[in-house]
A and B are shown apart, each in its own frame.
Chain A
Amino acid sequence: MVKSFLSILIGVLFMSISLKAQMISAPGINFLKAEYGHTFSYTEIGRSFTGFRSVGFGGYYFNTGEGKSIQVEAAIVNQLLKRWNTEDSQANIIVGAGVGRGRAGNREGWAGTVSFLADWENRRWHIMLQEQAVFVPSASRLVSTLMGGWAPWLAEYDEWAPWIYYTVQHENGDGVGLAHGPSLILMHEDLLLELRVMISDHGTHAEAGIRLLF
């Protein structure tokens, strides 16, 4: 109960984009995924009902400048379309969709989200491509993220596992445009923490993320 409360609290405090792992766990496991970015923040909290599907609630926030923003809160379903397991690696294709309410400036109405994620990883390397689209009355946003990660040493589940990533991200519309930068991810048991520096035409900004299984 305390763990669940803390997870929700952390989710409210930190918001998200594209952390290393996916939004689908084993059956009966809850997850929290939250990331705070310069122009785009995102939070999703949910539960995996099978090893191939999760249902949750997500919030998207886009800072579109000049005091304006796009916000969406939606119920989201993520579906693992295909997984390849080998002795030393795993690859996944995951899609997600959500329906909820959204606001763009002073307009409010029904909103939708669509996401696509493909990744491949072994214990040393991880490559991930993610597309996240948000549709609100009179506006839409598409965030494309490409991440490549490398583990400087191999750590076990009960040890801190470090990963060094480089991220390239593009946000359409009057958002940040193209941004890129390095990030450090630390994983320990059920927790993942990410610190990222993103460089764009708008300057250099620090971003942070967290993911938790409970």
Chain B
Amino acid sequence: MKKLFALIITSLCLICQADDKLPAGVKPYPLDTCIVSDEKLGSMGKPVVFVFENQEIKLCCKDCRKDFDADPKKFLEKINNPSKEAKPSTPAAAPSQSGTVVQLTVDGLVCNFCASNITKTFTKLPEVSAVYVNLTAKAVLLQLKEGQKLPEEKTKQIVTDAGFNLRAITYPKDTFDTVKETLKKKTP
């Protein structure tokens, strides 16, 4: 009985330790983006965290775990060569918004008519050339016209006026179509 009790206590300590800090020899994850989707960690909910070959890995969602498991070396390359593949976790200069893709994470985006309202609202803007809404990711993807800018304050106001809450703005480095396809893959 005492042995069982000691085992439970030891297990609980190990679990608590695992939550607080990494086991010895495991390198911490150096990026603030998912190495599979390049999404900002947290933009798709709680990140998926695990250790692979003594390297801590953080992914934006469960679907990315499947992609990672299919070809881990490809994605580990992004950690080993961050200058080539991914943004560092240290704060970088604000990305240029000219002709860029903007991804919004919106609270309250739960039904077709919510998506319809947001799509129509952003389609009317002269700065925007394409809009895609993904309900699963609560994401609104905007393609800005060449040379156009959409200030974050204005974006936030538009989302608020439409009746929703803007939770995050990210600037994916991939093309509009690539990000759209990535978001579509996350649909169950």
Candidates B124, B133, B161; contact of A157 at CB < 8 Å = B133
Q: Is B169 an interface residue (CB 8 A)?
A: no
The B-contacting residues of A in range 21-72, CB under 8 angstroms, are 21, 24-29, 50-52
Of chain A, the residue at the smallest CB distance from B114 is A90
Query: Which residues from chain B contact A86 at a C-beta distance below 8 Å?
Result: 107-108
Q: Is A83 an interface residue (CB 8 A)?
A: yes
Dominant secondary structure at the B interface: mixed
**Per-residue contact bits, chain B 85-129, to A (CB 8 Å; 1 contact, 0 not):** 000000000000000000000011011111111111100100000
Please count how many residues in chain A sit with their CB below 8 Å of the partner chain's CB atoms: 35
Asked whether, in the complex, the Cβ of B111 is within 8 Å of the Cβ of A187, the reply is yes
Asked whether, in the complex, the Cβ of B163 is within 8 Å of the Cβ of A51, the reply is yes
A27 touching B121 in the complex, CB below 8 Å, given contacts A50-B161, A52-B163, A85-B164? yes
A87 touching B136 in the complex, CB below 8 Å, given contacts A26-B162, A27-B161, A29-B117? no
- Complex Cα–Cα for A21 and B112 (A): 9
Asked whether, in the complex, the Cβ of A21 is within 8 Å of the Cβ of B163, the reply is no
Dominant secondary structure at the A interface: loop
- Complex Cα–Cα for A137 and B113 (A): 37
The B-contacting residues of A in range 64-93, CB under 8 angstroms, are 80, 83, 85-90
Please name the 4 residue pairs, one residue from A and one from B, whose CB atoms are nearest each other, closest first.
A85-B108, A157-B115, A26-B117, A51-B163
Chain A positions near chain B (C-beta within 8 angstroms)? 20-21, 24-29, 50-52, 80, 83, 85-90, 121-123, 126, 153-154, 156-157, 161, 187-190, 192, 211, 213
With A26-B162, A121-B110 known, 13 other A-B pairs at CB within 8 A are A25-B117, A25-B120, A26-B120, A26-B121, A26-B161, A28-B124, A83-B108, A85-B165, A88-B110, A89-B108, A154-B135, A154-B188, A189-B116
